[in-house]
């Protein structure tokens, strides 16, 4: 079931990449949104995160915090380089 | 000595040990790939106009590989469920399917996709010489349309001497003004018969599609290479659990084998999950 859903979403991602949503940024945003949905489905169902023990959620909250921090550092660089658009 | 908490839960964590172990490991893996993805974002945002190539990878093959990985994620869940129901025969077959999917994925990557890149050639033209190669680049039309300039000529390197490269052109350089070349094609078009002569003194740098070619290929080979090593690792672990040595564990303690399959399955799903991001970022966008 979830497998079929994921395969469908893969086809959707490929198809959407040939649709022009105006700007490249919009296309990237939409593709990443679909990828996040797929990743969420994998994590929730295949990795049974939908119902897990509390300790695992705690580990993942820390992971999420640090990985977002990591990406945030990239965005901070925005202010260091005037060439960023 | 018996290893404790392989199936029973440890009172203070509420989990059996391998489960918490694999999740801690996956947490560190998130940081490993997270670092590389943030490098990708950084390199891509910083790329000068025309320096981030599009449409150089084979999309149908990448789509097929994505489907194969997703399928293997399904079969590993089925393998685990079969063990839980104590159906070893079914487990054995599902495990074999999972291993085959992993092997196919790696074979396609290493024996087909990568080697094709290694024999593809690209020459970045110096800014002052771009006009000279306008008939291969079509930049006047692109400027009118507000598109990024083309600064590279790609194809198959026929020959070279001290002064020149002879390149059989990719369609995009053979017909640069054709509007159908503005966007990548789903099915990659073969290299044309049209041969261009490029003088070496007009070339900024020229390489095969290797990590040295550009920030794009450097990140492509780094991330898909690391991902491929994860697939290989997963396959090796699955092979161990599929061999007769694991059948002995099954006969002694089936729940222990089921738990082993569960944690290696968690790793496998994570590898699948990383690919779900790699595929659009490198192949499609």
C-alpha A27, offset from chain centre: 14
C-alpha B216, offset from chain centre: 12
pLDDT-based confidence at residue A30 (cuts at 50, 70, 90): confident
| Structure tokens given for B248 | 């002995």
For the ranges B65-74, B80-89, B184-193, B227-236, the lowest mean pLDDT is seen at B184-193
| A49 part of contact set with chain B, CB < 8 Å | no
CB contact under 8 A, A42 and B46: no
Q: What is the mean pLDDT of residues B9-37?
A: 90
Residue labelled with tokens 């469908």: A8
Chain B interface disruption, residue of A12, A15, A17, A27, most B CBs within 10 A: A17
Distance from CA of A5 to the nearest CA of B (A): 10
Chain B interface disruption, residue of A5, A10, A20, most B CBs within 10 A: A10
| A11, A55, A83 ranked by CB distance to B13: nearest | A55
| Structure tokens given for B1 | 């000595």
Kindly report, residue by residue over B148-173, the tens digit of the pLDDT.
889 999 999 988 888 999 999 999 99
CB B207 within 8 A of CB B213: yes
Distance from CA of B23 to the nearest CA of A (A): 7
C-alpha B226, offset from chain centre: 9
pLDDT at residue A82, as a whole number: 59
pLDDT at residue B82, as a whole number: 92
Angle (CA) A18 A19 A23, round 5°: 110
Half-sphere exposure (Cβ direction) of B48: Cα atoms closer than 13 Å? 7
Cα–Cα distance measured from residue A13 to residue B285, given in angstroms and rounded to the nearest whole number? 10
Distance from CA of A48 to the nearest CA of B (A): 9
pLDDT at residue A85, as a whole number: 46
Report the complex ipTM.
Answer: 0.84
pLDDT at residue A32, as a whole number: 85
| B146 part of contact set with chain A, CB < 8 Å | no
Distance from CA of B27 to the nearest CA of A (A): 6
| Structure tokens given for B253 | 């303690």
pLDDT at residue A27, as a whole number: 80
pLDDT at residue B12, as a whole number: 84
Backbone angles phi, psi at A18, to 5 degrees: -95, 0
Strands B164-169, B195-199: pairing kind:
antiparallel
Three-class secondary structure assignment of chain B = CCCCCCCCCCCCCCCCHHHHHHHHHHHHHHHHHHHHHHHHHHHHHHCCCCCCCCCCCCHHHHHHHHHHHHHHHHHHHHHHHHHHCCCHHHHHHHHHHHHHHHHHHHHHHHHHHHHHHHCCEEEEECHHHHHHHHHHHCHHHHHHCCCCCCCEEEEEEEEECCCEEEEEECHHHHCCCCHHHCCCCCCCCCCCCCEEEEEHHHEEEEEECCCCCCHHHHHHHHHHHHHHHHHHHHHHHHHHHHCHHHHHHHHHCHHHHHHHHHHHHHHHHHHHHHHHHHHHHHHHC
For residue A63, give the chain B residue with the closest CA: B27
Cα–Cα distance measured from residue B264 to residue B235, given in angstroms and rounded to the nearest whole number? 10
For the ranges A17-26, B64-73, B161-170, B261-270, the lowest mean pLDDT is seen at A17-26
CB contact under 8 A, B30 and A67: yes
CB contact under 8 A, A3 and B183: no
Kindly report, residue by residue over B182-231, the tens digit of the pLDDT.
888 888 888 888 898 999 999 989 999 999 999 999 999 999 999 999 99
Cα–Cα distance measured from residue A50 to residue A77, given in angstroms and rounded to the nearest whole number? 35
Contacting residues of B for A47, CB less than 8 Å apart: 266, 269-270
Contacting residues of B for A11, CB less than 8 Å apart: 63
pLDDT at residue B50, as a whole number: 83
| A72 part of contact set with chain B, CB < 8 Å | no
pLDDT-based confidence at residue B79 (cuts at 50, 70, 90): very high
Distance from CA of B168 to the nearest CA of A (A): 27
CB contact under 8 A, A17 and B284: yes
């Amino acid at each position: 079931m979830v497998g079929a859903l994921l395969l469908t979403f893969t086809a959707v991602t490929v198809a959407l990449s040939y649709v022009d949503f105006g700007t490249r940024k919009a296309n990237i945003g939409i593709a990443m949104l679909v990828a996040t949905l797929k990743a969420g489905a994998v994590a929730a169902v295949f990795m049974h995160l939908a119902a897990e023990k509390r300790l695992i959620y705690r580990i993942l909250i820390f992971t999420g915090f640090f990985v977002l921090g990591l990406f945030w550092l990239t965005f901070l660089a925005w202010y260091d380089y005037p060439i960023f658009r | 000595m018996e290893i404790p908490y392989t199936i029973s839960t440890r009172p203070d964590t509420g989990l059996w040990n391998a489960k918490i172990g694999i999740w801690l490991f996956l947490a560190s893996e998130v940081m490993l790939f997270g670092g590389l993805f943030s490098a990708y974002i950084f390199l891509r945002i910083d790329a000068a106009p025309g320096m981030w190539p599009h449409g150089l990878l084979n999309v149908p093959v990448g789509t097929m590989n994505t489907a194969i990985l997703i399928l293997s994620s399904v079969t590993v869940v089925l393998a685990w469920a079969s063990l839980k129901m104590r159906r070893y025969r079914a487990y054995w077959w599902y495990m074999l399917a999972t291993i085959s999917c992993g092997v196919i994925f790696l074979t396609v990557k290493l024996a087909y996709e990568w080697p094709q890149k290694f024999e593809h050639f690209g020459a970045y033209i110096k800014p002052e010489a771009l006009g000279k190669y306008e008939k291969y680049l079509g930049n006047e039309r692109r400027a009118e349309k507000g598109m990024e300039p083309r600064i590279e000529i790609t194809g198959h390197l026929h020959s070279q001497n001290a002064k020149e490269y002879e390149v059989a052109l990719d369609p995009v350089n053979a017909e640069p003004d054709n509007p159908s070349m503005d966007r990548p094609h789903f099915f990659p078009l073969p290299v044309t018969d049209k041969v261009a002569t490029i003088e070496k003194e007009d070339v900024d740098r020229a390489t095969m599609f290797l990590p040295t070619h550009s920030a794009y290929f450097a990140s492509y080979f780094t991330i898909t290479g690391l991902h491929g090593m994860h697939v290989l690792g997963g396959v090796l672990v699955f092979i161990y659990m599929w061999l007769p040595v694991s059948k002995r564990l099954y006969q002694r303690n089936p729940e222990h084998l089921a738990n082993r399959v569960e944690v290696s399955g968690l790793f496998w799903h994570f590898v699948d999950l990383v690919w779900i991001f790699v595929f659009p970022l490198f192949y499609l966008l």
